[in-house]
Every structure is written in structure tokens, then in C-alpha cells.
Amino acid sequence: MRGGAQAHLIESDGGDHYVVKFANNPQGRRILVNEFVSSLLLGELGIAVPQPAVVAIDEEFLRSNPEVCLSLGNEQIAVRPGVHYGSQYAVSCVGSPIYDFLPDSMLSEVFNRNHFLGALVADKWLANGDGRQAVFYRARIMGLSPAPSPVRWVAQMIDHGHAFQGSGWTFRDSPIQGLHARRVVYGSDPSIRDFAPWIDALMRVSRDFLDKVFLLIPPDWIAGEELEFLRVLRRLYQRRERVPQLLAESIDHLTKSNLAQPRESRCSS
């Protein structure tokens, strides 16, 4: 798999497939905490994300699969046995197509395109230092009509390792942070009103829920840094109130970018 953490696609004993980031990946174990916590928080907001999982890998598996390793320059690094972070693969059949890019003309057909608005709310809250990453796949949408379920494009938000500014576990803000590269996902004229349902969902996240999320983090990923990350979560709870202003700054950036784009010219005879 692409990316600095050098994730691998691995089949579990139950037959499910997971994109696995290892505890000793080149970006550090904090990336696993960021991924795990962010996935749970985006899921709580109702945003489509892969199901997060704690993946146990033992020495026997690693001996039987020597291709499961990490690279550091020209050197190969062994994956350490233990618990690692996994995100469930978006489609049940690995051979089914999944894309990380759709042209603008097709993005308008994405069934849950409004989840990009929710993801921007989450990314402002979490201080995601990366652009918004997503994958797209085809799926049957149940319950739209009595007729046979139509097949539509569905988006799923992925890759949250740079939440809390990655390994920095801090909060820095910029209007461009968290934005998806294809700005059409936010509409031609976005306004803060478009984000209202997602802001409301954010304000309903309780301190108790954040405490429960903290308790779910595997101890091996956070050993010796528990107090530091608890402080991050305390700041995160207080930070909810800042999100509308941070969104307004990103919306202003989007509006100016849209105005700066050249308009299509037409000639008539």
C-alpha cells in the first residue's frame, strides 16, 4: 500500500481484509493512536470510515509471510509481533475495484458526498495536518425505493494518521488543512449553513465519550505517554467551540479559490 506508514493489506483468520499499519512503522506508533481515535470519532459523527480494528500478528505469521516487512532506505526492517492498527477494506471482495480518485463529473454522483462536509468539520476539530483522503467504490444502496436497490458510488474517508499534527500531538490550524483536492465535493458556493448538521453532531460529543475512546486504545501503543494524550483529548473537547470559526476560514478560502478559477468561454457564430 502507498504511504509513509507502509501499510499492508492482510487477510484475517475470519476472512476479512484489513489495511494494517504496524506499531514499528517509520512514522512511529503515535500514528496508530491517531488513526484509531480519529476513526472512532468520525464514526460517532456519522461519517463513513472503515471499521477500525486491533490486529494481532504473531511470529508464526511473520515467518510464513516474509514479504510482510518494512523498508528504511535500502534496509528491510522486520515487523514486530504484537498488536497493530487495521482498517477494514472497503469492499468485501479484494478483487472488486476501489479508487482514490474520481473526476469532477463523477463526484456529483457520489451517494454520500455530503460526508465530505462532515469530514471537514472533523478535520478542523482534530487539526488534521494532511489533505482529506478518501476512497470510492460501487455499492448497492438499500432502502432508497421499493424497486431493486440501485448501485451508486460511495465515498469512505481514510488515512487519519496526521490528526493532531501527526506525531506532534498538538493543534495547529490553517484554512487549507483537511481540504480534499477535488473542491467540487463542497459544492459550488459552500456556506457555514451547509455544515450545520455536522457541527450539531460535533457539539453532542461528550467528555465521557472521549474518555471511553481513550480506554479503548491498546496499552502497547501509548505506554508511557498516557498523560500526554489525555491532555490532547482534554484540549480536543474544549476545542469544539472553535470549529465554526475554523470552518469559516476554510469556506472563505474555497470561495476565493472558486472565484480565481477561469470561467469557461464560449464562442458563437
Roughly what angle, to the nearest 10 degrees, separates helices 196-203 and 115-126?
50
Cα distance between residue 244 and residue 30, in whole Å:
27
pLDDT at 92: 74
Q: Does 1 fall in a domain?
A: no
Average pLDDT, whole number, for the chain? 93
Report, as an integer, the average pLDDT of 80-97: 88
Band the pLDDT of 265: cuts 50, 70, 90.
very low
Q: Does 118 fall in a domain?
A: yes
Contact 82, 59 (CB under 8 A): no
Report, as an integer, the average pLDDT of 93-101: 83
**Is pLDDT of 146 > 70?**
no
Q: Name the 3-class secondary structure at 228.
A: helix
Q: Does 39 fall in a domain?
A: yes
Domain assignment of residue 117, given as a range: 8-260
Q: Single out the residue of 22, 36, 70 nearest to residue 233, CA to CA.
A: 36
Band the pLDDT of 148: cuts 50, 70, 90.
low
pLDDT at 96: 80
**Is pLDDT of 54 > 80?**
yes
Q: Does 87 fall in a domain?
A: yes
Q: Does 268 fall in a domain?
A: no
For 4, 224, 239, the CA distances from 172, given in Å and listed in that order, are 21, 24, 12
Beta bridge partners of 77: 70
Q: Does 97 fall in a domain?
A: yes
Contact 161, 5 (CB under 8 A): yes
Q: Which helix (H) or strand (E) holds 214?
A: helix 207-216
In the chain, the number of structural domains is: 1
Give residue-wise pLDDT tens across range 214-238.
999 999 999 999 999 999 999 999 9
- Listing DSSP states for 80-149 in one string gives PSEEEEEEE-SSSSTTS--BS---HHHHTTBTTTTHHHHHHHHHHHHT--S--EEEEEEEE-TTS-SSSP
Q: Write b or e for each residue in 195-220: b if 16 or more Cβ atoms lie within 10 A of its Cβ, otherwise e.
A: beebbebbeebeeeebeebbeebbee
Q: Does 2 fall in a domain?
A: no
**Is pLDDT of 144 > 60?**
no
Q: Which is higher by pLDDT, 144 or 190?
A: 190
Q: Does 3 fall in a domain?
A: no
